[in-house]
Protein backbone atom coordinates (compact mmCIF):
# COMPACT_ATOMS: atom_id res chain seq x y z
CA UNK A 1 0.00 0.00 0.00
CA UNK A 2 2.85 2.36 0.83
CA UNK A 3 4.37 1.87 -2.61
CA UNK A 4 1.03 2.70 -4.26
CA UNK A 5 0.82 5.96 -2.28
CA UNK A 6 4.35 6.79 -3.39
CA UNK A 7 3.42 6.00 -6.99
CA UNK A 8 0.35 8.25 -6.77
CA UNK A 9 2.47 11.10 -5.38
CA UNK A 10 4.98 10.58 -8.18
CA UNK A 11 2.25 10.62 -10.84
CA UNK A 12 0.74 13.79 -9.34
CA UNK A 13 4.15 15.43 -9.38
CA UNK A 14 4.62 14.44 -13.04
CA UNK A 15 1.20 15.87 -13.95
CA UNK A 16 2.03 19.11 -12.15
CA UNK A 17 5.39 19.35 -13.94
CA UNK A 18 3.77 18.77 -17.34
CA UNK A 19 1.08 21.33 -16.52
CA UNK A 20 3.75 23.89 -15.52
CA UNK A 21 5.69 23.22 -18.71
CA UNK A 22 2.61 23.77 -20.88
CA UNK A 23 1.75 26.96 -18.99
CA UNK A 24 5.33 28.19 -19.39
CA UNK A 25 5.21 27.65 -23.15
CA UNK A 26 1.81 29.38 -23.37
CA UNK A 27 3.23 32.36 -21.49
CA UNK A 28 6.22 32.54 -23.84
CA UNK A 29 3.93 32.48 -26.89
CA UNK A 30 1.78 35.25 -25.39
CA UNK A 31 4.89 37.31 -24.62
CA UNK A 32 6.22 36.87 -28.17
CA UNK A 33 2.83 37.90 -29.59
CA UNK A 34 2.81 40.99 -27.38
CA UNK A 35 6.32 41.86 -28.49
CA UNK A 36 5.28 41.49 -32.15
CA UNK A 37 2.40 43.91 -31.62
CA UNK A 38 4.80 46.39 -30.01
CA UNK A 39 7.24 46.02 -32.90
CA UNK A 40 4.44 46.50 -35.45
CA UNK A 41 3.54 49.75 -33.72
CA UNK A 42 7.18 50.89 -33.66
CA UNK A 43 7.60 50.01 -37.36
CA UNK A 44 4.48 51.99 -38.24
CA UNK A 45 5.67 54.96 -36.18
CA UNK A 46 9.11 54.89 -37.82
CA UNK A 47 7.59 54.62 -41.31
CA UNK A 48 5.23 57.53 -40.62
CA UNK A 49 8.08 59.61 -39.21
CA UNK A 50 10.24 58.97 -42.28
CA UNK A 51 7.32 59.16 -44.71
CA UNK A 52 8.52 55.98 -46.44
CA UNK A 53 6.43 52.81 -46.23
CA UNK A 54 8.16 50.70 -48.90
CA UNK A 55 10.87 48.47 -47.38
CA UNK A 56 12.55 48.25 -50.82
CA UNK A 57 13.04 52.04 -50.95
CA UNK A 58 16.72 53.04 -50.61
CA UNK A 59 15.94 55.51 -47.80
CA UNK A 60 13.71 53.17 -45.80
CA UNK A 61 14.55 53.57 -42.08
CA UNK A 62 17.18 51.11 -40.84
CA UNK A 63 15.46 50.80 -37.48
CA UNK A 64 12.21 49.79 -39.21
CA UNK A 65 14.07 47.11 -41.20
CA UNK A 66 15.70 45.74 -38.05
CA UNK A 67 12.38 45.81 -36.18
CA UNK A 68 10.68 43.94 -39.04
CA UNK A 69 13.37 41.28 -38.98
CA UNK A 70 13.08 40.93 -35.21
CA UNK A 71 9.27 40.71 -35.44
CA UNK A 72 9.52 38.02 -38.11
CA UNK A 73 11.99 36.06 -35.97
CA UNK A 74 9.63 36.31 -32.99
CA UNK A 75 6.73 35.05 -35.10
CA UNK A 76 8.80 32.07 -36.27
CA UNK A 77 9.80 31.34 -32.70
CA UNK A 78 6.16 31.54 -31.58
CA UNK A 79 5.19 29.06 -34.31
CA UNK A 80 7.90 26.65 -33.15
CA UNK A 81 6.67 27.04 -29.59
CA UNK A 82 3.14 26.18 -30.71
CA UNK A 83 4.48 22.83 -31.90
CA UNK A 84 6.20 22.33 -28.54
CA UNK A 85 2.97 23.31 -26.79
CA UNK A 86 1.02 20.61 -28.62
CA UNK A 87 3.66 18.07 -27.61
CA UNK A 88 3.60 19.30 -24.00
CA UNK A 89 -0.20 19.05 -23.92
CA UNK A 90 -0.03 15.50 -25.27
CA UNK A 91 2.50 14.59 -22.59
CA UNK A 92 0.26 16.20 -19.96
CA UNK A 93 -2.73 14.17 -21.13
CA UNK A 94 -0.65 10.99 -21.03
CA UNK A 95 0.63 11.75 -17.52
CA UNK A 96 -2.91 12.50 -16.37
CA UNK A 97 -4.14 9.17 -17.77
CA UNK A 98 -1.37 7.35 -15.91
CA UNK A 99 -2.34 9.12 -12.68
CA UNK A 100 -5.99 8.17 -13.13
CA UNK A 101 -5.06 4.52 -13.75
CA UNK A 102 -3.09 4.36 -10.50
CA UNK A 103 -5.83 6.17 -8.57
CA UNK A 104 -8.48 3.78 -9.91
CA UNK A 105 -6.36 0.80 -8.92
CA UNK A 106 -5.97 2.27 -5.45
CA UNK A 107 -9.72 2.90 -5.16
CA UNK A 108 -10.45 -0.66 -6.27
CA UNK A 109 -8.02 -2.07 -3.70
CA UNK A 110 -9.50 0.09 -0.95
CA UNK A 111 -13.02 -1.04 -1.90
CA UNK A 112 -11.88 -4.66 -1.81
CA UNK A 113 -10.34 -4.12 1.63
CA UNK A 114 -13.52 -2.46 2.89
CA UNK A 115 -15.57 -5.38 1.54
CA UNK A 116 -13.26 -7.88 3.26
CA UNK A 117 -13.51 -5.97 6.55
CA UNK A 118 -17.29 -5.80 6.16
CA UNK A 119 -17.45 -9.54 5.50
CA UNK A 120 -15.32 -10.27 8.58
CA UNK A 121 -17.49 -8.00 10.72
CA UNK A 122 -20.61 -9.66 9.36
CA UNK A 123 -19.19 -13.11 10.17
CA UNK A 124 -18.45 -11.95 13.72
CA UNK A 125 -21.96 -10.56 14.10
CA UNK A 126 -23.42 -13.78 12.68
CA UNK A 127 -21.44 -15.87 15.17
CA UNK A 128 -22.60 -13.62 18.04
CA UNK A 129 -26.18 -14.01 16.84
CA UNK A 130 -25.83 -17.80 16.62
CA UNK A 131 -24.38 -17.90 20.13
CA UNK A 132 -27.30 -15.82 21.46
CA UNK A 133 -29.80 -18.11 19.75
CA UNK A 134 -28.10 -21.16 21.30
CA UNK A 135 -28.05 -19.48 24.73
CA UNK A 136 -31.73 -18.57 24.41
CA UNK A 137 -32.60 -22.15 23.37
CA UNK A 138 -30.77 -23.57 26.39
CA UNK A 139 -32.53 -21.31 28.81
Q: Is residue 16 a part of any domain in this protein?
A: yes
Q: What is the CATH number of the domain that holds 49?
A: 1.10.287
Q: Is residue 132 a part of any domain in this protein?
A: no
Residue 9's domain comprises 2-111
Query: In the predicted model, is pLDDT for residue 64 greater than 70?
Result: yes
Q: Is residue 120 a part of any domain in this protein?
A: no
Q: Is residue 31 a part of any domain in this protein?
A: yes
Q: Is residue 85 a part of any domain in this protein?
A: yes
Q: Which pLDDT belongs to residue 137?
A: 79
**pLDDT band for position 121 (cuts 50, 70, 90):** confident
Q: Is residue 64 a part of any domain in this protein?
A: yes
Q: How many domains does the chain have?
A: 1
Model confidence, pTM: 0.73
What does pLDDT average to over the chain? 92
Q: In this prediction, what percent of the chain has a pLDDT beyond 70? A: 99
Higher pLDDT, 134 or 88: 88
Query: In the predicted model, is pLDDT for residue 1 greater than 80?
Result: no
d(CA 92, CA 14): 8
Q: Is residue 6 a part of any domain in this protein?
A: yes
| Cβ neighbours for 71, distance < 8 A, ≥ 6 positions apart | 35, 36, 39, 40, 43
Q: Is residue 116 a part of any domain in this protein?
A: no
* Nearest in space to 17 (alpha carbons), one of 101, 5, 4, 25: 25
Q: For 23-46, what is each residue's pLDDT tens digit?
A: 999 999 999 999 999 999 999 999
| Cβ neighbours for 43, distance < 8 A, ≥ 6 positions apart | 64, 67, 68, 71
Amino acid sequence: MKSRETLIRLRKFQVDEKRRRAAQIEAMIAEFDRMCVDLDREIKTEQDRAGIHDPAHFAYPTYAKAAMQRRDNLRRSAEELKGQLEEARAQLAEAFEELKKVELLDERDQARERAEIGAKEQMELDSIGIMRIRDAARA
